[in-house]
Amino acid sequence: MISLRRITDADSEQILRWRNSDEVRLFMSDQEPITLKDHQAWLMARVEDPTNVGLIAEKSSVAVGFMQFNILDTETTEWGFYKSPDAGPGLGREICTESIEWAKQNLSVSRVVAKVISTNIVSLKLHLGIGFELISEEAWLKLTGYERAASAHKFFRRSVRGPG
Ligand SMILES: CC(C)(COP(=O)(O)OP(=O)(O)OC[C@H]1O[C@@H](n2cnc3c(N)ncnc32)[C@H](O)[C@@H]1OP(=O)(O)O)[C@@H](O)C(=O)NCCC(=O)NCCS
Protein backbone atom coordinates (compact mmCIF):
# COMPACT_ATOMS: atom_id res chain seq x y z
CA MET A 1 0.00 0.00 0.00
CA ILE A 2 1.18 3.51 -0.87
CA SER A 3 1.28 6.31 1.69
CA LEU A 4 1.93 9.97 0.93
CA ARG A 5 3.69 12.59 3.02
CA ARG A 6 4.87 16.16 2.43
CA ILE A 7 8.43 16.53 1.12
CA THR A 8 11.12 17.83 3.48
CA ASP A 9 14.67 19.13 3.00
CA ALA A 10 15.90 15.62 3.80
CA ASP A 11 14.34 14.34 0.53
CA SER A 12 16.39 16.75 -1.58
CA GLU A 13 19.19 14.47 -2.76
CA GLN A 14 16.88 11.58 -3.58
CA ILE A 15 14.40 13.68 -5.56
CA LEU A 16 17.23 15.23 -7.60
CA ARG A 17 18.66 11.77 -8.37
CA TRP A 18 15.24 10.55 -9.57
CA ARG A 19 14.54 13.73 -11.56
CA ASN A 20 17.92 13.60 -13.35
CA SER A 21 17.78 9.88 -14.14
CA ASP A 22 17.25 9.12 -17.85
CA GLU A 23 14.08 7.20 -16.93
CA VAL A 24 12.47 10.43 -15.70
CA ARG A 25 14.33 13.33 -17.37
CA LEU A 26 13.56 12.22 -20.92
CA PHE A 27 9.80 12.40 -20.23
CA MET A 28 9.84 15.88 -18.70
CA SER A 29 9.02 19.05 -20.65
CA ASP A 30 12.47 20.37 -19.64
CA GLN A 31 14.82 17.49 -20.41
CA GLU A 32 18.03 19.22 -19.31
CA PRO A 33 19.62 17.85 -16.11
CA ILE A 34 18.71 20.07 -13.12
CA THR A 35 21.63 21.65 -11.25
CA LEU A 36 21.90 21.22 -7.47
CA LYS A 37 21.52 25.00 -7.00
CA ASP A 38 18.30 25.19 -9.06
CA HIS A 39 16.99 22.08 -7.38
CA GLN A 40 17.54 23.45 -3.89
CA ALA A 41 15.74 26.71 -4.72
CA TRP A 42 12.87 24.69 -6.20
CA LEU A 43 12.67 22.42 -3.15
CA MET A 44 12.65 25.30 -0.66
CA ALA A 45 9.74 26.87 -2.55
CA ARG A 46 7.86 23.54 -2.54
CA VAL A 47 8.33 22.98 1.18
CA GLU A 48 6.87 26.41 2.01
CA ASP A 49 4.26 27.00 -0.69
CA PRO A 50 0.69 25.84 0.16
CA THR A 51 -0.37 26.20 -3.50
CA ASN A 52 2.37 24.00 -4.90
CA VAL A 53 2.50 20.86 -2.83
CA GLY A 54 5.28 18.28 -3.14
CA LEU A 55 4.65 14.77 -1.81
CA ILE A 56 6.76 11.66 -1.39
CA ALA A 57 5.07 8.33 -2.02
CA GLU A 58 6.26 5.51 0.22
CA LYS A 59 5.70 1.79 0.06
CA SER A 60 6.62 -0.21 3.18
CA SER A 61 8.39 2.96 4.43
CA VAL A 62 10.61 3.10 1.32
CA ALA A 63 10.35 6.24 -0.85
CA VAL A 64 9.20 5.19 -4.31
CA GLY A 65 7.96 8.33 -6.05
CA PHE A 66 7.32 12.04 -6.17
CA MET A 67 3.98 13.80 -6.73
CA GLN A 68 3.33 17.50 -7.16
CA PHE A 69 0.00 19.34 -7.02
CA ASN A 70 0.20 22.83 -8.45
CA ILE A 71 -3.05 24.53 -7.44
CA LEU A 72 -4.05 26.89 -10.23
CA ASP A 73 -7.32 28.30 -8.87
CA THR A 74 -10.19 27.34 -6.56
CA GLU A 75 -11.37 24.60 -8.96
CA THR A 76 -8.26 23.21 -10.61
CA THR A 77 -4.95 21.63 -9.73
CA GLU A 78 -2.34 20.45 -12.20
CA TRP A 79 -0.35 17.40 -11.21
CA GLY A 80 3.03 15.99 -12.18
CA PHE A 81 4.85 12.91 -10.93
CA TYR A 82 7.59 10.38 -11.37
CA LYS A 83 8.62 7.22 -9.66
CA SER A 84 12.04 6.13 -8.48
CA PRO A 85 13.99 4.42 -11.29
CA ASP A 86 14.51 1.58 -8.77
CA ALA A 87 10.76 1.08 -8.21
CA GLY A 88 9.06 -1.91 -9.77
CA PRO A 89 6.32 -1.97 -12.43
CA GLY A 90 2.76 -1.06 -11.50
CA LEU A 91 3.80 1.47 -8.87
CA GLY A 92 2.98 4.46 -11.06
CA ARG A 93 -0.66 3.53 -11.14
CA GLU A 94 -0.70 2.89 -7.37
CA ILE A 95 0.96 6.26 -6.62
CA CYS A 96 -1.50 8.13 -8.85
CA THR A 97 -4.59 6.38 -7.49
CA GLU A 98 -3.53 7.12 -3.92
CA SER A 99 -2.70 10.71 -4.86
CA ILE A 100 -6.23 11.30 -6.18
CA GLU A 101 -7.48 10.07 -2.82
CA TRP A 102 -5.02 12.44 -1.08
CA ALA A 103 -6.28 15.36 -3.18
CA LYS A 104 -9.86 14.47 -2.29
CA GLN A 105 -9.00 14.60 1.44
CA ASN A 106 -6.60 17.55 1.47
CA LEU A 107 -7.39 19.96 -1.37
CA SER A 108 -10.56 21.90 -2.02
CA VAL A 109 -10.28 21.77 -5.83
CA SER A 110 -12.73 19.78 -7.96
CA ARG A 111 -10.52 18.70 -10.86
CA VAL A 112 -6.99 17.52 -11.70
CA VAL A 113 -5.43 18.37 -15.07
CA ALA A 114 -2.30 16.99 -16.68
CA LYS A 115 -0.08 17.60 -19.69
CA VAL A 116 1.76 14.57 -21.09
CA ILE A 117 4.37 14.48 -23.88
CA SER A 118 2.71 12.67 -26.81
CA THR A 119 5.40 9.96 -26.98
CA ASN A 120 5.07 9.07 -23.27
CA ILE A 121 2.96 5.96 -23.89
CA VAL A 122 3.14 4.71 -20.29
CA SER A 123 1.85 7.99 -18.84
CA LEU A 124 -0.85 8.30 -21.54
CA LYS A 125 -2.09 4.78 -20.71
CA LEU A 126 -1.83 5.49 -17.01
CA HIS A 127 -4.04 8.61 -17.22
CA LEU A 128 -6.66 6.90 -19.36
CA GLY A 129 -6.56 3.85 -17.06
CA ILE A 130 -7.41 5.86 -13.92
CA GLY A 131 -10.35 7.80 -15.30
CA PHE A 132 -8.78 10.84 -16.94
CA GLU A 133 -10.51 12.22 -20.02
CA LEU A 134 -8.51 13.44 -23.02
CA ILE A 135 -9.24 17.13 -23.68
CA SER A 136 -8.25 19.56 -26.45
CA GLU A 137 -5.33 21.93 -26.07
CA GLU A 138 -7.85 24.81 -26.20
CA ALA A 139 -9.74 23.35 -23.23
CA TRP A 140 -6.42 22.89 -21.40
CA LEU A 141 -5.37 26.51 -22.05
CA LYS A 142 -8.73 27.73 -20.76
CA LEU A 143 -8.48 25.64 -17.57
CA THR A 144 -4.85 26.47 -16.79
CA GLY A 145 -4.25 29.95 -18.21
CA TYR A 146 -0.93 28.65 -19.57
CA GLU A 147 0.75 29.51 -22.87
CA ARG A 148 0.46 27.07 -25.79
CA ALA A 149 3.00 24.20 -25.46
CA ALA A 150 6.00 24.34 -27.82
CA SER A 151 6.12 20.57 -28.43
CA ALA A 152 3.45 17.90 -28.95
CA HIS A 153 1.50 17.02 -25.82
CA LYS A 154 -1.77 15.38 -24.86
CA PHE A 155 -3.99 17.02 -22.26
CA PHE A 156 -6.14 15.40 -19.59
CA ARG A 157 -8.80 16.28 -17.03
CA ARG A 158 -10.38 14.25 -14.23
CA SER A 159 -12.84 15.12 -11.50
CA VAL A 160 -11.33 14.65 -8.03
CA ARG A 161 -14.56 12.94 -6.91
CA GLY A 162 -14.59 10.35 -9.69
CA PRO A 163 -13.81 9.64 -13.35
CA GLY A 164 -15.08 12.05 -16.00
C1 LIG B 1 4.80 7.48 -15.52
C2 LIG B 1 5.28 6.48 -14.46
C3 LIG B 1 5.09 7.08 -13.08
C4 LIG B 1 4.43 5.23 -14.62
O5 LIG B 1 4.82 4.30 -13.65
P6 LIG B 1 4.90 2.73 -14.00
O7 LIG B 1 4.99 2.02 -12.71
O8 LIG B 1 5.98 2.57 -15.00
O9 LIG B 1 3.50 2.52 -14.71
P10 LIG B 1 2.49 1.32 -14.49
O11 LIG B 1 3.26 0.04 -14.42
O12 LIG B 1 1.58 1.67 -13.38
O13 LIG B 1 1.74 1.32 -15.89
C14 LIG B 1 0.90 2.36 -16.35
C15 LIG B 1 0.29 1.91 -17.66
O16 LIG B 1 1.30 1.81 -18.68
C17 LIG B 1 1.38 0.47 -19.18
N18 LIG B 1 2.78 0.19 -19.40
C19 LIG B 1 3.75 0.01 -18.46
N20 LIG B 1 4.93 -0.20 -19.07
C21 LIG B 1 4.68 -0.15 -20.40
C22 LIG B 1 5.49 -0.28 -21.54
N23 LIG B 1 6.81 -0.50 -21.44
N24 LIG B 1 4.92 -0.16 -22.77
C25 LIG B 1 3.61 0.08 -22.89
N26 LIG B 1 2.78 0.22 -21.84
C27 LIG B 1 3.31 0.10 -20.62
C28 LIG B 1 0.78 -0.39 -18.12
O29 LIG B 1 0.25 -1.59 -18.65
C30 LIG B 1 -0.32 0.52 -17.59
O31 LIG B 1 -1.40 0.55 -18.51
P32 LIG B 1 -2.85 0.04 -18.08
O33 LIG B 1 -3.22 0.90 -16.88
O34 LIG B 1 -3.67 0.31 -19.28
O35 LIG B 1 -2.63 -1.39 -17.74
C36 LIG B 1 6.78 6.11 -14.61
O37 LIG B 1 6.94 5.41 -15.81
C38 LIG B 1 7.69 7.31 -14.62
O39 LIG B 1 8.11 7.77 -13.56
N40 LIG B 1 8.01 7.81 -15.83
C41 LIG B 1 8.89 8.96 -16.00
C42 LIG B 1 8.23 10.24 -15.57
C43 LIG B 1 6.88 10.47 -16.23
O44 LIG B 1 6.65 10.11 -17.37
N45 LIG B 1 6.00 11.12 -15.47
C46 LIG B 1 4.68 11.49 -15.94
C47 LIG B 1 4.77 12.78 -16.66
S48 LIG B 1 3.16 13.25 -17.28
**Average pLDDT for runs of 10 along the chain of length 164:** 95 96 93 94 88 96 97 97 95 97 96 96 98 96 91 95 74
What CATH number labels 2-159? 3.40.630.30
Ligand 1 midpoint to CA 77 (Å): 21
Give which of 80, 85, 95 is closest to 144, Cα–Cα.
Answer: 80
- pLDDT score of 48: 82
Give which of 76, 57, 87 is closest to 139, Cα–Cα.
Answer: 76
Q: Which amino acid is at 157?
A: R
Residue list, ligand 1 pocket, CB within 6 Å: 23-24, 27, 80-83, 89-93, 114, 116, 120-123, 125-126, 129
Q: From CA 125, how far away is CA 134, in angstroms rounded?
A: 11
What are the extents of the domains in the chain?
2-159
**Is the CB of residue 81 less than 8 Å from the CB of residue 65?**
yes
- pLDDT score of 164: 55
- pLDDT score of 77: 98
Query: Do the strands 111-117 and 52-59 form a parallel or antiparallel pair, or are they unpaired?
Result: unpaired
Residue minimizing CA distance to atom 23 of ligand 1: 122
